[in-house]
Amino acid sequence: MSEKSVEQLYNERLARVLAAATCQQPDRIPVFGPFQKYPYQFAGVTLKDAMNDYALARAACHKFLDYFQPDVDFGPIFAYPARAMELYGWRAFKWPGHGLDDDVMYQYVEGEYMTAEEYDEFIYDPSGFMLGKWAPRQFASMAGFAQTIPWRRFMWSGWMNLNFFWLTPEYQETLRAVQAGAEEAAKWWASQFQYWDEAKAKGFPMAFAGWDWPPFDIIGDTLRGTRNILADMRRRPGKLHDALEVATKIFIEYGSGAAGAPLPFCWVWVHKSTREFMSDAQFREFYWPYLRKGLLALIEKGIIPVVYWEADWESRLEHVADIPHGKIIYHLSNTNFERAWDALGGKVCLMGNVPNILLLGGTPDDVKAYCKRIIDYTKGKPGLIVDAAVMLDEAKPENLKAMFDFTREYGRY
C-alpha cells in the first residue's frame, strides 16, 4: 500500500479535529494542545533565544512537530517578539531578558490602565479612549498619542486642527518609535507565516484562526485590573454593565477574524470566572450573559469557539451548558472530568485535562492510565480531544509521547 500524500494527511487531520469539535464521530480521538514554552525546552532552546531568534523558534517547533505529530499545531506563535516589545516599550509585560531570567515564561503586569472615573469615556468612545489614554499608559513609545484630538471631531473643518498635535515633537517621536516597532513585528509575522506554510507542507493544519477574551476579562485584564473590577461589581455595577455591553461588541469583533478559516477555531482565554474570584450569582450576572452573547454571535458566523476555562469551574457547569449542541469546545484544566462529561458530554466537545504535574513528575504508565480513564468514561461517545490540563511549559518527553501515542492507539472509534 502506498503512503498517504501530504494533502491526504492534512485533510484527514482537519476532518478528525472538526468532527470531534462538533461532537461527530471521527476515526479516532484527536490529541494536540497549546504548548507554550515546552517546544523550546524539548529542543534545548531558552525562551529568550526563541523570542529573539525567529528562525531558531521555527526550528524548535519543527522538531516538536516531527517528533510528537499533534493533529493540529500552534508553531512559534507563543514566542512573542521580544525586540518589538522593547521598541514599543510595553510596560504590561515582563519577559526573559527584560525583568525575568532567560528561560522563565513571560508574565503579565496588571495595572489600573483605566480609572473608575473614566468608565463613561470608555463607554462613549472606546477607540478614542484606547488611543489617547490606554496606549500611552501601556507603551512608553506611545506617549505622544495622549495629544491626539479624537477622530470623531474631524468632521467638516475639524481636519484643520490636525497640525496642533501631529507636528509636535512628542507626536513625531511616537510615530518614529511605533514605526520601528511595527517593522520588527512585521519580521516576526513573516516568520509565523513561513512556519504555517512549512507545517502545511508536512500535512499539519494550524490549530487557531483567532484569539479572544471574555468581555469581563477585556475590562478586568486590560483596563481596570483584577482587584478593581471585582470591587466594581459591588461599587459601580451599573457602569460595569454598560462597559460590558461595549466589551461584548469588541469580543465579537476580535473573534470574527476566524470566520472562513479551514479550521475556524477562535481561542477564548478565560481568566476571572472561577469561584475564587466571584460567586455563582456574580457569574450569572456579570460574566456568563456577556460571554454567552459573544459566543453565540461567533457561532452564527461559522466560528468554533474554544473556551479555555482556567482553574476549577465545576460550580459553573449548569450555567455554561446553555449553549447550542456541537458548536463549541470547552477546555478543562482542574475541573473533574467525569462531572464535566456528565453535564456536557456529547453536547459540547471537551478538551484536556491530563494533569501537567503528571506529565512532569509521573511515568508513561501513569499518563496512559489517566488517558484511559477519561477515554473509557466517554463510552465511545464522540466529543473529546486529549490535551494537557493547562498550557505546557515543562514535561518529561517520554510522558508527553505516551499521551500522544496512547490516545492515537486506544482512542479509535
pLDDT in tens, 195-215: 999 999 999 999 999 999 999
Residue located via cell numbers 460571554:
291
Sign of the Cα torsion 16, 21, 22, 23 reads positive
Q: Say yes or no to pLDDT of 267 above 70.
A: yes
Buried b (16+ CB within 10 A) or exposed e, 46-68: bbbbbbbbbebbbbbbbbbbeeb
HSE value, Cβ hemisphere, 13 Å, CA-based, for 183? 7
Distance CA 210, CA 293 (A): 18
Supply the angle between the helices 54-68 and 397-410 in degrees, to the nearest 10: 50
Distance CA 117, CA 64 (A): 48
CATH topology of domain 6-79+181-410: TIM Barrel (3.20.20)
Where are the chain's structural domains? 6-79+181-410
The pLDDT assigned to 1 comes to: 43
Q: What is the pLDDT of residues 155-179, one digit of tens each?
A: 888 889 889 999 999 999 999 999 9
The pLDDT assigned to 2 comes to: 54
Please give the model's pTM, rounded to 2 decimal places. Answer: 0.96
Q: What is the pLDDT of residues 94-103, one digit of tens each?
A: 999 999 999 9
Residue 327 main-chain phi, psi, to 5 deg = -120, 0
Q: Would you say 25 and 161 are in contact if contact means Cβ atoms under 8 Å apart? A: no
Q: What is the pLDDT of residues 241-258, one digit of tens each?
A: 999 999 999 999 999 999
Q: Would you say 43 and 59 are in contact if contact means Cβ atoms under 8 Å apart? A: yes
